Amino acid sequence: MTITPPALSVFESLESEVRSYCRGWPAVFDRAQGARLTDEDGHSYLDFFAGAGSLNYGHNNPVLKRALIDYIERDGITHGLDMATTAKRAFLETFQNVILRPRDLPYKVMFPGPTGTNAVEAALKLARKVKGRESIVSFTNAFHGMSLGSLAVTGNAFKRAGAGIPLVHGTPMPFDNYLDGRVPDFLWFERLLEDQGSGLNKPAAVIVETVQGEGGINVARAEWLRALADLCRRRDMLLIVDDIQMGCGRTGAFFSFEEAGIVPDIVTVSKSISGYGLPLSLCLFKGELDVWEPGEHNGTFRGNNPAFVTATAALDAYWADGQMEKHTLARGEQVEQALLALCTEHGRLGASYRGRGLVWGLEFADPARASEVCARAFELGLLLETSGPQSEVVKLLPPLTITPEELDEGLRTLARAVAATV
């Protein structure tokens, strides 16, 4: 496919230099359906990015679109603050019956604002309020959002530097396998907690991703997560799981922590919870932690009723019968086998892969190669992005609803892109 760079004059002249994804994908997109986008010149692209994980059910999913159109056409509430509405009631009842009760999860639901970082900020604020302490422990290569509280528990130096002020009250600890298995899990963390001379203020909470997406697709072992949950319990710290990108079925189960058999105190959810790419986020927490005063934490756009509508439709369509998890795990095995073959064929590149469900990373010994692969993939009609502290990992994040044939097409295109950069 030959792609002519589009006329981007208005984007380049008027839009801020802060834009990023569009630089790697120089096209003006016009339409999208399922796992494909089409630009204004008619070129089709297979999407292995899925809105950074906010489109788990694909673009313009017909089931969700029908529910949304019907709601809009009957003049359903759009903006609702935290008022009670029929759309919110339907979502809460469905979330309780389809997700929480079958998993015996004791969570209250808070709508903190429209984005993932809003949910993280609420979680951090709540943990500090409950415990009466300021310090939060996070992990190396973590990413939790771009607002100041979230940045304070984010590892990436480039993103942290953008804050322009000191980021305080957060302490990083080694993520699973950060020290290549040479040090027992949590040895450093435990020692700091028990040593009165360590200088570590007793934390209110620990925040963790079960799979670090922006950090390079770093997968925490189930036993490591169980040990972390036990450490938090023994040391009177709340455990916050950031499930913003890895939740809503991305790793297989609806919540990414289910495999480990743990029940976090607080869980943040966003991205694909609306199912349609509409802004919505949740902060879930155990009932005894619900110590908020009315209005103590609020936001103008936390009542996005069209997002409640599509979220309810997504839960009913994809999570009521248990088939989505099986489908995702099967597609994940398909990806794993393809990446194994690719790394074997191009062994001299020093490439390796890792992942769970339908989130995978292909890491190169030469960090620059990952960006080259993504650029070539775009030329071949496949949207991919990089992750990791040096952008050394090609990140695969296709819609969960992708067909086996589409997935195979994308994986073959990835293989061609890798071969073209050798």
261-275 mean pLDDT? 98
The residue length of the chain stands at: 422
List the 359-363 sheet strands across, edge first: 352-356, 359-363, 393-396, 385-387
Q: Give the pLDDT of residue 349.
A: 87
315-335 mean pLDDT? 97
Q: 24-55, pLDDT tens digit by residue?
A: 999 999 999 999 999 999 999 999 999 999 99
Place of tokens 């809460």: 92
What's the CA gap between 69 and 65, in Å, rounded? 6
Q: Does the pLDDT of residue 5 top 60, yes or no? A: no
- Listed in sequence order, the residues at least 6 apart from 286 whose beta carbon sits closer than 8 Å to its beta carbon are 106, 107, 108, 265, 266
Q: Does the pLDDT of residue 3 top 80, yes or no? A: no
What's the CA gap between 337 and 25, in Å, rounded? 27
What's the CA gap between 11 and 383, in Å, rounded? 20
